């Protein structure tokens, strides 16, 4: 069930808990954030910029133009 080589679960690392019998402790691998059951990739940003949102519109403004 908790195979680290599975493509679907490649972002989760599970190991047997040493304090409890037959239980697993799971955590997200580096580059992912979550609680060990649900993990998502950490967003990567391409540089410094200011985001301005209004409604559904988003503007990406470089800091040297402010």
Structure tokens at 4: 């680290």
pLDDT in tens, 49-66: 888 999 999 998 888 876
Nearest-angstrom CA–CA distance, 1 and 14 = 10
Handedness of CA 59, 60, 61, 63 (dihedral sign): positive
Provide CB contacts within 8 A for 45, sequence distance 6+.
none
| Predicted pLDDT at 9 | 61
| Predicted pLDDT at 53 | 93
pLDDT in tens, 13-29: 878 777 767 778 888 88
| Predicted pLDDT at 66 | 63
For the chain, the structural domain boundaries read 12-65
| Predicted pLDDT at 20 | 62
Three-state SS for 53? strand
Structure tokens at 25: 């402790």
* Cβ neighbours, 10 Å, residue 5: 6
| 7 — pLDDT class (breaks 50, 70, 90) | very low
């Amino acid at each position: 069930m908790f195979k680290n080589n599975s493509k679907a679960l490649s972002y989760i690392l599970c190991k047997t808990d040493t304090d409890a019998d037959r239980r697993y402790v799971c955590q997200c691998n580096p580059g992912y954030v979550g609680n060990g059951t649900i993990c998502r990739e950490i967003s990567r940003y391409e540089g410094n910029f200011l985001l301005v949102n209004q409604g559904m519109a988003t503007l990406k403004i470089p800091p040297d133009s402010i």
